[in-house]
Amino acid sequence: MNWFWYASPQTFYPLAGRMAPWFGFAAALLAAAGLYVGFFVAPTDAQQGEVYRVIFIHVPAAWLSMFIYLVMAGWAALGLAFNTRLSGMMASALAPTGALFTFIALWTGSLWGRPTWGTYWVWDARLTSELVLLFLYLGFIALQAAIDDPRRADRAGALLAIVGVVNVPIIYFSVKWWNTLHQGASVSLKSAPTMAATMFAGMILMAFAFWMYAIAVTLVRVRCIIREREG
């Protein structure tokens, strides 16, 4: 199969139109399953009580917020390397969803922090770097919005996204080193999850639901961008 066939906006437009509903459907299904598991099946946490259930939104949103930035920078690099129009459109279509997930992660995190840590906001490493990530997303969106020529906007945004992606680990480690209160990661690839299996299942279901939602929304948004630019 020739993947470059779909690198052109004209051929990608109908494909995106066909795929978007399926991803949207998968997102709805997974979200329903994930919320059911999260609210009715998963046991109450021994230490935190019911309030821990915010992780079913918070953790997937935080994962996606970082993942989408990587994907966005990947599309940006592709666009700079191959000079394809679609790559830049994908990058600008991903940015609002990424910013949304970053905001949701911060918001739900502060709602969880109030009863658990006793405060809405602490200057902790992960919170601060997530906040900086939000600023990076907003900077990307603002830069693209300020440039009238769409090709220049794509390329300028691409460079900014790549500079940002190089900086994200530096920011994370500098802030981590500066101050840390956040609990360590409960889920890692190296060790078994330190939570009940049903909690973990609910979280994974929700993560996939968010992922599918992000894909569906991005496809719809990229269709709008194609329409706008290619007329």
Do 127 and 121 touch, CB atoms closer than 8 A? yes
Least CB distance from residue 221 to other proteins, whole Å? 22
86-109 burial string, b = 16+ CB within 10 Å, else e? Answer: bbbbbbbbbbbbbbbbbbbbbebb
* CA 111 from centroid of its chain's CA atoms: 19
Closest distance of CB 14 from other proteins, Å:
31
Q: How far is the CB of 87 from other proteins (least distance, A)?
A: 15
Summarize as ranges the residues that interact with other proteins (CB under 8 A).
80, 132, 135-136, 138-139, 142-143, 146-147, 152, 155-156, 159-160, 162-164, 166-167, 170-171, 174-175, 177-178
Q: What is the dihedral of CA 26, 165, 104, 86, to 10 degrees?
A: -40
Q: Using an 8 Å Cβ cutoff, are 206 and 30 in contact?
A: yes
Nearest approach in angstroms of CB 132 to other proteins is 5
Specify the residue, 91 or 216, whose C-beta has the smaller distance to other proteins: 91
Q: Which is nearer to other proteins, 143 or 187 (CB)?
A: 143
The nearer residue to other proteins, 35 or 182, going by C-beta atoms, is 182
Residue type, 120: Y
Nearer Cβ to other proteins (38/157): 157
CB 113, min distance to other proteins, A = 21
From the list 37, 57, 95, the residue with the least C-alpha distance to 207 is 57
Phi (first) and psi of residue 37, to 5 degrees: -60, -45
Cβ proximity to other proteins, 22 vs 123, nearer residue: 123
